[in-house]
Amino acid sequence: MNYRLKDEYIRLSKKNRLYHFDIPIVGLTGGVATGKSTVSSFFKKDGFNLINADFLVHNIYKEKESLDFIKKAFPTAVLEGAIDFKILRKLFFENKKNQQQIESFIYQRLEEAFLKESKNLKHLIIYDVPLLFERDLADKVDISICVYCSENNQLKRLQERDKIDENLAKSIIQSQMNIEKKRKLSNFVINNDNSPNDTMEEFIKLKKLLFFN
């Protein structure tokens, strides 16, 4: 389907939009384990043009230069000639300097990855990006949608999903902007604190409000 953003929600010109795109971009964000991937899958299933920042980063890590970078900067995270992401993740979250070094490498390559993925897309892009506010991207998208759940649920879901202890889960959550703050900063919110059916109902209501096809 060729979904479009309703005119009243198109607030940016090409000049001011992320990567100077001439079609509207909707930023879909949330905290880790708040359910953003679930809502992202709703958009994708309904036929929206969707770009996932985590997928772009995953592809960047596949490049040889990424392996060479990790091998040089974090040699313990390379086992049998490949990046061990469990080790790299631990290194990333235990040290602010490590985070900055890895993020600098990745974000220098993100624009090229985005442009490659978005080639030939028309009318509208949903950009699934966890760090929308942390990376100061909110002013470069036409509207922002936050997928929200309480901090307690976020912590429980992250531990269960990734089979990690509470300390690591807290470190991961604290590395991002507080979810309550993200909710307040976002233009729209989808509450994922309740059942999957409730989340789907919120998605459908928001879809009717913002888009037409």
> Cα separation of 71 and 180, whole Å?
37
Neighbouring CB atoms inside 10 A of 113's CB total 19
Q: What is the DSSP string of 129-178?
A: -TTTTTTT-GGGSSEEEEEE--HHHHHHHHHHHHT--HHHHHHHHHTS--
> Cα separation of 56 and 99, whole Å?
18
% of the chain with per-residue pLDDT over 90: 95
Q: How far is CA 143 from CA 7, 64, 108, in A?
A: 12, 35, 24
Burial class, 124, CB count within 10 angstroms (exposed 0-12 / middle 13-18 / buried 19+): buried
Give 58's pLDDT tier (boundaries 50, 70, 90).
very high
∠ CA 173-205-38 to the nearest 5 degrees? 35
Contact by Cβ (8 Å): 77, 88: yes
Contact by Cβ (8 Å): 130, 53: yes
**Can you tell me the mean pLDDT for 153-177?**
94
Q: What is the pLDDT of residue 80?
A: 95
Give 203's pLDDT tier (boundaries 50, 70, 90).
very high
Give 50's pLDDT tier (boundaries 50, 70, 90).
very high
Q: Tell me 211's DSSP state.
A: E
Is pLDDT at 57 greater than 80 in this prediction?
yes
As a whole number, the mean pLDDT across the chain is 96
Q: What is the 3-state secondary structure (H, E, C) of 156-169?
A: HHHHHHHCCCHHHH
* 85 contacts: CB under 8 Å, gap ≥ 6: 61, 77
**Can you tell me the mean pLDDT for 7-19?**
97
Tokens at residue 34, please? 């708040």
Structural domains in the chain, CATH included, are 4-55+113-212 (3.40.50.300), 64-108 (no CATH)
Q: What is the pTM of this model?
A: 0.93
**Can you tell me the mean pLDDT for 178-184?**
97
Is pLDDT at 2 greater than 90 in this prediction?
no
Amino acid at 41: S
Give 36's pLDDT tier (boundaries 50, 70, 90).
very high
